[in-house]
Amino acid sequence: MKALVTGATGFIGSHIAQQLVEQGHEVRAFVRPTSDTTFLRQLEVELVTGDVTRPETLDAACRGVDTVFHTAAVVGNYGTWGHFRDVGVHGTRNTLDAAARNDVARFIHLGSIAVYGTRATGTPVTEDTPFDERPERWNHYVREKVLSEKLLWKAHREGRVQATSLRPSVVLGPRDRNALGRTLFMIRSPLGAIVGSGKSRFPAVVIEDVAAIALKAATSDVAIGRAYNVSGRDPITEEEYLRLVAEAAGLRPLTRRMPMPVVMTTAMLLENAYRLARRKEEPFVTRIAVAIAGGDYVIDCSRAAAELGWEGSSDYADAIRRSVEWYRSSMR
């Protein structure tokens, strides 16, 4: 295929681009003018400069392409709703419009299990679980993911693109610039704590598995018009996840436990303090991170197994080790 990857310098986008190249496909990477393209240049992919918030830059990127892998979005939950809306929602609409104008056949959308909300209670989540139409006022990430996926399905129903939505859980592996750094900071911090008992099931998936299902979906007609949950095979608890990160980094594992309401209040105060100080970076604890850590997630991926022959691995320790190694090398 000739594929366009938006968000190609990001975590998921860069791995999709890498696997596309490794499998012999032709890759065009859509990158912002300020993005670090060192890794993509090593892959020798075609680079097209632009921004999903600038519709006029997307036509050149989509021209002559048969598949779009749309990974560009705002990750996390710190920032204004305007930023999440412009990049995640309007950016998705702009990319869909450009793909339709340029007769791009397939559109693979990288969404998130966040469309189901962050109030998990141990009930299995399938692709038919309703979207969270009323997320918390502060939960811009969930709102972004729900609204962007609604745009995807609208374009699909109208026959403008042939859409597939992938909904990964928390992704683990090298080139993670977001979650790992905050997790390491929390483990080192005197304020760091395990949320609740630490026994709740933490939704995780290895990055290479996410890229693999993206390519499977793009080359399978059965995936047209379908959504797929994307999570690891075996459950891991919040406490186990934090221990694996600490061990990989040579840190003492967290043992302190705090009730979820206390940690949520702390996260709210940190977010407010960062906003008052006009700090652009994300606090090491955010409310959405607390909600995910304290929720009990059971993600049903049987549809991906039955229709695409995909099954996530459960080698979280190796993915975390490689993530820590990459993070440390990138910080030098």
Query: pLDDT averaged over consecutive 10-residue blocks of the chain (332 residues)?
Result: 97 98 98 95 96 97 97 86 96 98 97 95 96 94 97 98 98 94 92 92 97 98 98 95 97 95 93 89 88 94 98 96 95 74
pLDDT on residue 331: 77
What percent of the chain clears pLDDT 90, i.e. is strictly above it?
A: 90
Distance set, CA 251 to CA 61, 199, 244 (Å)? 44, 21, 10
Distance CA 228, CA 310 (A): 10
> Token pair 């186990």 is at which residue?
240
pLDDT on residue 174: 97
For 124-158, write each residue's pLDDT tens digit: 999 999 999 999 999 999 999 999 999 999 999 99
Nearest CA-CA partner of 113 in 286, 238, 230 = 230
Task: Supply 294's token pair.
Answer: 């304290």
Q: Which helix (H) or strand (E) holds 196?
A: none
Kindly list the structural domains of the chain, giving each domain's residue range(s) and its CATH number in brackets, ordered by start. 2-173+205-231 (3.40.50.720)
Nearest CA-CA partner of 324 in 250, 252, 254, 253 = 250
Task: Quote the strand ranges of 169-217, DSSP E.
Answer: 170-172, 194-195, 201-202, 204-206
**74 within 8 A of 52, measured Cβ to Cβ:** no
Distance CA 166, CA 143 (A): 17
Nearest CA-CA partner of 255 in 185, 192, 311 = 192
Distance CA 45, CA 24 (A): 11
